[in-house]
Amino acid sequence: MWLFSRRKHQAEPRTVTPVKAFKADCLSYQAANLQGIGKRSNQEDSFGFANVLDVTKIKNKGLLAIVTDGMGGMKGGKLASDTAVASLRNDFEAFDYSLDLAEQLEQSVFSASERIYGLLGGDGGSTLIACLFYKEKLYFASVGDSYLMLKRNGHLIHLNRKHNVMYDEYLNAVSRGSLDKTDAESDPEKHALTRFLGMDELEDFDISRRPLPVLDGDVFLLCSDGVGGVLSEQCIFDCLNNNTAPAQMCEQLEQNILITNKRYQDNYTALVVKCEY
């Protein structure tokens, strides 16, 4: 996540960790993760899965996948991102599947934000992408400027929106009947976040009130802006090759990040979930 300029640092070793395939009643899922430090001095991204290797739990409680990106240049970025992952995983274990899952996911996000605020007092925070795959449906929540993308039927679809100054100004302009992007794109604070976990009084964020049906062949990408803000949509589309395993998709994403060789390459984290019969 870009908020402050940083000096260039040497990249440290990155990891691509494959995760075994698991099978639900109908669709099966394969998952993998990628994480690298980029040219930063510290890793402030975090990620987590729940139930990824337990077929019985997948059937009964679903698969939870989370990516968080601690706010660089502020206090406790890594603490914030780690706290968010731990908080959501802990709350997920207590979900009641006889009740509305979207509401419970929403409340777990509010709870994570409150926990981070209690630790950092609003002086630090984290973005969030959280996905719950349950009975061939996807529930998701998004706060900040990380990315949730779906490759389906030859198209790459953004499922969430960014919560930053530029996108808020876009929406304000549209509400006034204007499609002019000039002011929003020229704002020097355009990348500053307007919503993040750990802010005082987080009021609203992206939450899927109605779950998205998951289809055979779907590939989902959850990533920090060190991936989504660096690689082009065409590049990401090409990396999410349906004929390869998620671990290979992650390797392709990393290779392209390294080829791009952005001067101030941020930490980068990606989770890929492939759905198929």
- The reported pLDDT for the residue numbered 162 is 86
- The reported pLDDT for the residue numbered 177 is 72
Diameter of the chain measured on Cα atoms = 52
Residue 66 lies in a domain: yes
- The reported pLDDT for the residue numbered 259 is 97
- The reported pLDDT for the residue numbered 188 is 60
Residue 180 lies in a domain: no
What is the extent of the structural domain holding 90? 15-158+195-272
Sequential DSSP letters for the chain: --SS-----PPPP-EEEEEEEEE-SS-EEEEEEEEE-TTSSS--EEEEEESTT-HHHHHHH-EEEEEEEE-TTSTTHHHHHHHHHHHHHHHHTT--TTS-HHHHHHHHHHHHHHHHHHHHTTS--EEEEEEEEETTEEEEEEESS-EEEEEETTEEEE-S---BHHHHHHHHHHHTT----HHHHH-TTTTSBS--BTSTT----EE-SSPEEP-TT-EEEEE-HHHHTTS-HHHHHHHS-TTS-HHHHHHHHHHHHHHH--TTPPPEEEEEEEEE-
Residue 153 lies in a domain: yes
Residue 225 lies in a domain: yes
- The reported pLDDT for the residue numbered 72 is 77
- The reported pLDDT for the residue numbered 84 is 98
What is the pLDDT of the chain when averaged over all its residues?
A: 87
Residue 1 lies in a domain: no
Distance CA 186, CA 111 (A): 35
Instruction: Give phi and psi for 221, each to the nearest 5.
Output: -120, 120
- The reported pLDDT for the residue numbered 24 is 44
- Give the number of domains in the chain: 1
Residue 55 lies in a domain: yes
- The reported pLDDT for the residue numbered 3 is 41
- The reported pLDDT for the residue numbered 165 is 72
CATH number of the domain encompassing residue 65: 3.60.40.10
- The reported pLDDT for the residue numbered 133 is 96
49-59, pLDDT tens digit by residue? 999 988 888 88
Residue 179 lies in a domain: no
Distance CA 89, CA 29 (A): 19
Under-70 pLDDT residues of the chain: 1-25, 166-176, 178-191
Give the predicted TM-score (pTM) of the model.
Answer: 0.85
Residue 3 lies in a domain: no
